[in-house]
């Protein structure tokens, strides 16, 4: 702490509530990303280091530079034969391979990946990457580190000496079955509406939900995309929902995440599909990996094509997306589960519809049953 700084008080009238502030939507072109891949590929690095560059929004401020306020996106390259030393961090991440073949090791699990595959790296998992192929491998990685950096609690270690994570998980599962100290702690009702008092032991020994590294290989995920593309007939006109599958990690339970902070989804828009304008307090970042299309965000129009990355929905900005004449495939990463955990995910599925608080009020419905029947 800087001792020359002094604590002060501010009257609430001098600090009125501020309306949501949007980082403007923007498109990072595939050409810009290719330029960065070339730069990363050509630079000298220390053995075991990673060729990684963050895509930073012009409105981002330290600490925690990102492409959205709570999401950083990095471009990662491993040349043939390269491998990284192990790393560990308190952020969790989800990654998407855009080219080549590589291997991600997290604790005791080794995941091979290739183009369009997705995988997650749990918080505090010891992870490393390897490229044993003869071509460069390139992947995007998205993490919640910006939030942790703003909170001043992001932990990142290089080459950590850690027990194998699977052992840690096994120990945790074993402890679950043991008599726990909290069984002897205070546990009593306060009033009749569910409020309770609980002893300290409840705070330091919460129930464990095992968090594993998982893979969503394209060759399996893609088998489910034709069905969602064809909902609602030609151009999806008869369907009120979105033509996508969410890549679900059961560790996120009802928060519908791929990581505890983000969901990743893969969309397959039918040709000329135009989505309804809507908004949500979660921010969304799209990576287009096939086809092209256009978006309108807060009244501004954008066009995009395969290889482009877009801050496509700043939190609470009204937006919609539309596919071009050949349709498109999009990876979307959105800080949805993080906001559900904070009871902060407000959602408006159509601009004429109600605003609801996701997970604490009834959610939105679509006409999917009729859309399937209409095929």
Residues in contact with Fe ion by the rule CB under 5 A: 313
Indicate the residue among 88 and 279 with the shorter CB distance to Fe ion. Answer: 279
Indicate the residue among 214 and 313 with the shorter CB distance to Fe ion. Answer: 313
Tell me which H or E stretch contains 78: strand 72-78
Residue 261: CB minimum distance to Fe ion, A: 17
CA dist 373 to 50, 117, 228, 242, 367, Å?
Answer: 50, 31, 13, 17, 10
Residue 133: CB minimum distance to Fe ion, A: 36
Indicate the residue among 148 and 313 with the shorter CB distance to Fe ion. Answer: 313
Q: At 302, list the tokens.
A: 């954008």
DSSP letter for 46, please.
-
Indicate the residue among 117 and 335 with the shorter CB distance to Fe ion. Answer: 335
Residue 26: CB minimum distance to Fe ion, A: 16
Indicate the residue among 94 and 244 with the shorter CB distance to Fe ion. Answer: 244
Residue 334: CB minimum distance to Fe ion, A: 8
CA dist 69 to 24, 122, 312, 345, Å?
Answer: 11, 21, 13, 15
Indicate the residue among 67 and 106 with the shorter CB distance to Fe ion. Answer: 67
Nearest partner of 332 among 280, 239, 256, 267, judged by Cα: 267
Nearest partner of 249 among 236, 259, 235, 238, judged by Cα: 259
Residue 27: CB minimum distance to Fe ion, A: 16
Residue 332: CB minimum distance to Fe ion, A: 8
Tell me which residue has tokens 């919640």. 144
Q: At 116, list the tokens.
A: 């369009």
Indicate the residue among 231 and 313 with the shorter CB distance to Fe ion. Answer: 313
Per DSSP, the three-state class of 235 is: helix
Residue 275: CB minimum distance to Fe ion, A: 8
Q: At 145, list the tokens.
A: 């580190």
Nearest partner of 276 among 330, 321, 327, 223, judged by Cα: 321
Report the alpha-carbon distance of residue 288 to residue 267 in Å, rounded.
Answer: 9
Indicate the residue among 73 and 313 with the shorter CB distance to Fe ion. Answer: 313
CA dist 140 to 5, 55, 104, 128, 218, Å?
Answer: 40, 10, 13, 15, 15
Per DSSP, the three-state class of 12 is: helix
Residue 279: CB minimum distance to Fe ion, A: 7
For 111, other C-beta atoms within 10 Å of its C-beta total 19
Residue 262: CB minimum distance to Fe ion, A: 14
Contact 331, 97 (CB under 8 A): no
Indicate the residue among 74 and 334 with the shorter CB distance to Fe ion. Answer: 334
Residue with smallest beta-carbon separation from Fe ion: 313
Report the alpha-carbon distance of residue 129 to residue 131 in Å, rounded.
Answer: 7
């Amino acid at each position: 702490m800087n001792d020359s700084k002094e604590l002060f008080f501010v009257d609430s009238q001098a600090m009125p509530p501020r309306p949501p502030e949007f980082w403007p939507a923007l498109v990072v072109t595939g050409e810009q990303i290719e330029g960065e891949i070339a730069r990363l590929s050509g630079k000298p690095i220390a053995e075991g280091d990673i060729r990684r560059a963050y895509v930073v929004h012009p409105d981002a401020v330290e600490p925690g530079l990102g492409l959205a306020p709570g999401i950083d996106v990095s471009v990662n390259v491993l040349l043939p034969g390269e491998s990284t030393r192990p790393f560990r961090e308190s952020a969790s991440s989800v990654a998407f391979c855009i080219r080549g073949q590589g291997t991600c090791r997290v604790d005791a699990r080794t995941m091979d990946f290739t183009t369009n595959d997705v995988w997650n790296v749990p918080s505090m998992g010891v992870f490393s990457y390897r490229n044993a192929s003869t071509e460069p491998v390139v992947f995007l990685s998205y993490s919640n580190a910006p939030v942790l950096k703003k909170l001043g609690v992001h932990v990142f270690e290089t080459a950590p000496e850690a027990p194998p994570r699977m052992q840690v998980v096994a120990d945790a599962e074993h402890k679950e079955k043991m008599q726990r100290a909290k069984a002897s702690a205070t546990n009593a009702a306060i009033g009749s509406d569910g409020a309770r008092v609980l002893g300290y032991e409840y705070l330091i020994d919460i129930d464990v939900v095992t968090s594993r590294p998982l893979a969503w290989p394209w060759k399996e995920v893609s088998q489910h995309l034709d069905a969602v593309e064809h909902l609602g007939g030609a151009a999806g006109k008869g369907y009120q929902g979105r033509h996508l599958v969410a890549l679900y990690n059961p560790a996120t339970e009802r928060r519908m995440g791929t990581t505890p902070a983000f969901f990743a989804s893969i969309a397959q828009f039918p040709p000329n599909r135009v989505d309804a304008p809507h908004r949500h307090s979660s921010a969304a970042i799209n990576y287009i990996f096939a086809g092209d299309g256009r978006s309108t965000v807060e009244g501004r129009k954008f066009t995009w094509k395969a290889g482009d990355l877009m801050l496509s929905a700043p939190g609470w900005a009204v937006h919609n997306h539309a596919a071009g004449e050949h349709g498109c495939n999009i990876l979307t990463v959105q800080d949805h589960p993080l906001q559900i955990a904070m009871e902060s995910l407000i959602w408006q599925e159509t601009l004429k519809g109600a605003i609801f608080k996701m997970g604490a009020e009834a959610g939105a419905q679509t006409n999917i049953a009729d859309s399937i029947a209409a095929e």
